[in-house]
Every structure is written in C-alpha cells, then in structure tokens.
Amino acid sequence: MEEAARRIRDGRGFVVLEMRFEDAEKAAAFLREELGFDGLLVEDAVSPNERPSLQETGSTLFLEVAVPTEDGPCEVAVFLTSSAMVLVSRSEAPPIRETVDRWLRSPLATAPSPPWLLHQVLDAAVDAYFPLCDRIEDEVDALEDLVFHGDGDFVERGLDLKRQIVTARRGIAPLRDVLNALFRVGPERIPADLRPYLQDVYDHTLRVTEMLDVNRDLLSGILDAHLSIVSNNLNNTMRVLTVMATFLMTAGLIAGIYGMNFQHMPELEWPWGYPAALLAMAALVAAEWLYFRRKRWL
C-alpha cells in the first residue's frame, strides 16, 4: 500500500490500487494525506449515502458506480488521474475485481491507457446487471404462472422482487447519468476514439433500465391481478354464505312464528300442521333458490 501510494504521488508509470475499508475515517485520511485527493471527493468516496455522480477537480476525474453483487449493491468510488486509478469500496465487487485481474495479466491488450481501463471498469459494472435482470425476469415469469393459485407467500415474494427491481434501478439510473456526463469531458481526459465504446456501454444502461421498467410494470400488474382474484374469490364466498343465510332466515321465520307462546293459534291444533310448516319452509327455500339461479348468484 505504501509503495503504491508513493508511486501515485511521484506519478511514475500507471498504478491501479484497489482499496476496501471498514473504518471510513482511516480510509478518508489515507486518501487525503497519502494520495493527496480533494477532501470533498474523499468525503463522497467513503460516504454510504452518496448518489453515483461524476466530478472533475484539478487533475482528478472522480466518479461513483453501484455494482450488483450477491450480497446487494456495492458502491465503488473511482479516482482517475494520468498516473493512477484508485478504486474505493466497503466490500469486494467481483466484476471489478475480475477486470483488474485481467488488466494485471495483460495491461496493454486489456486497456492501453487509463481512460480505456475506466471504460473496462464501467463496462463490467453495467454488464453485471444483466444476470440480475435475467433472474428478475425468471422470477416474474414464475409469479405470473402462480397468479391464479398463488400460495401464502405470493405477495411476500412479489414485494421482495419489487424491492430488488427498485434497488437495481437506483443503481443503474445514476450510472447512466455518469456515462452521459463522460461525453462532456474534454478530449485530454477521454480521447475521441474511446467515445464510441462509452456510447456502447451507455446503450447497455438504457437496455438494463428498460428491462427493469418492463419487469416492474409486469410485476405490478401481476400483484394487482392476484389481489383482484383474491378479492373476487372472497366476494364469491361471501355471496354463497349470504344466500345460505337467506335460506336459513326464511326457514327460521316460519319456525319462529310457530314457536311463539300464544294460546290461540289455529294451526296448533291442526294434525297436519308440522308437515305443512316443513313443506312451507322447503317451498320458500326452493323459490329463493330458483330466483338466485336466474339472477346467476349461484
């Protein structure tokens, strides 16, 4: 680390330094005092709540990108000078790690100059979103198949997937803005022959954004359809229960009339009173059943 810092300060050759930290204050002190970076840029680099952006100060080009990993998005800050690229993050980002390793094995073939290495880093960060989009799309398709008979955790799975989509979009949308801002950087930092390659990476960000937006809309429609189906099933159940209650209320009406404690009721002395009451109950229930069938309530 000390040797890399000395070479960065002296400007000898081109140095790539990956820096992962746990203590933000120590990391900020090293970036300011040992590497000489601007204090505002250092504060943005170690802060977990900064929106990815692009800034130019003196001889330093500073940008932040969000790289998706298995443990969630990893914020990577990039300091680019004519003699060094410093990558700062709280955890390891495998796509960036693989890009740096590939450059170390074959620097000229991978990236002959610092701006080209920056392109490789940005390209790796954007490409890391495509497997995530594929997994999201597969999960959306699986939920779409379960929309009519989803199990108990259907809504929970849907909401968790929606959070993943929102998190991914929060990472790719600012990265798209960073790439767009790179086109306005002077040719002394970003050479003209590199711009078509950056345009290709920018087009990838647009594609990722569109995929996330499409899956978010599909997921919203699936969740709405599932909730509508659940509500409709509940309405059907309540309708059946209401009809059953109506049948029982009709039979209970007749039973209640003949259950009153009056002495002078002509039907009480009638030998056929009991079967007649049962027949009246059955007739009224049958009439109601036919009525509900005609109304298509059953």
Of residues 171, 179, 58, 165, the one with CA closest to residue 118: 179
Helix (H) or strand (E) holding 78: strand 72-80
pLDDT tens string 25-79: 888 888 888 787 888 888 888 887 777 778 888 778 898 888 888 888 888 889 8
The DSSP-derived string for 227-257 is HHHHHHHHHHHHHHHHHHHHHHHHHHHHHHH
Q: pLDDT tens, 108-160? A: 766 777 888 888 999 999 999 999 999 999 988 888 888 776 566 778 888 88
| Domain at 1-100: CATH code | 3.30.460.20
Q: What global pTM score does this model have?
A: 0.76
Residues of CATH 1.20.58.340 domain(s) within the chain? 231-294
Tokens representing 236? Answer: 């059907």
Polymer length of the chain? 298
| Distance separating alpha carbons of residues 267 and 245, to the nearest angstrom | 27
Superfamily for the 231-294 domain: Magnesium transport protein CorA, transmembrane region (1.20.58.340)
Other Cβ atoms less than 10 A from the Cβ of 297: the count is 13
**In the chain, ranges of CATH 3.30.460.20 domains:** 1-100
